[in-house]
Amino acid sequence: VAVVGRSNVGKSSLLNALAKRPKLAHVSKTPGRTQLLNCFALDDGTTVVDCPGYGYAAVSKQKRGSWQHMIEGYLLGREQLRRILVLVDGEIGPTDLDLMLLEWTRANDLPIALVATKHDKVKAARRDRRKREVAERCGVEPRDVVWVSAAKGVGIDRLADLIRGWLAER
């Protein structure tokens, strides 16, 4: 299972929450510091891969190109990948880059799951509507959006169950 999403969307925090190890992946307040594909071996023998955030403006165009090349090559070529978790920020909704990434995964027939982050940052009264908006913009059904909060632990067990299910698929 690979985790992709723009810088600061909450990839490292989600990985730490899934692994129940707060310092496993480096959580950074500075976007763009995760510049490599980081593989984490979990106790049950599965591997989670943290991909560099895309769309970080302060790195050179050339470097952005080589990141993109690395991630795309990995996502297209790695046979063992069961799902790509595409993270969108639940507080701000999908960005144009998120939508481009989704389009690219669809064009290449890659298996994705849409995960919205930062559930705790949206007021309870607005969550239903936000979820519908995120789903609509991303072209999926609201029930297919897994909305998590790494900070509060919301949705983490559900996502872990889903991941176990995907890894068990043959």
d(CA 110, CA 57): 26
Of these, 27, 70, 160, 167, which contacts ligand GDP (CB under 6 A)? 27
Tell whether residue 10 is a contact of ligand GDP (CB under 6 A).
yes
**CB within 8 Å of 51: residues ≥ 6 apart:** 2, 3, 4, 11, 37, 71, 74, 75
Q: Does 38 bind ligand GDP (CB under 6 A)?
A: no
The CA–CA distances, whole Å, from 47 to 38, 72, 77, 166 equal: 10, 18, 16, 13
Dihedral angle, C-alpha 20, 26, 30, 33, nearest 10 °: -140
Q: Which of 1, 2, 4, 7 binds ligand GDP (CB under 6 A)?
A: 7
Q: Are 56 and 65 in contact (CB under 8 A)?
A: no
Residue matched to tokens 């998120």: 98
Question: Residue 10 half-sphere exposure, CB side, CA atoms within 13 Å?
Answer: 26
Could you say which residues in the range 98-117 bind ligand GDP, by CB under 6 A?
117
d(CA 152, CA 154): 6
Contact letters for ligand GDP, residues 141-170 (x by CB under 6 A): --------xxx-------------------
Question: Which residue in 64, 82, 121, 127 binds ligand GDP (CB under 6 A)?
Answer: 121
Q: How far is the CB of 169 from ligand GDP (least distance, A)?
A: 26
Q: Which stretch binds ligand GDP (CB under 6 A): 22-30, 69-77, 102-110, 160-168?
A: 22-30
Q: Is 94 in the site for ligand GDP (CB under 6 A)?
A: no
Interface ranges with ligand GDP (CB under 6 A)? 5, 7-13, 27-29, 31, 34, 53, 117-118, 120-121, 149-151
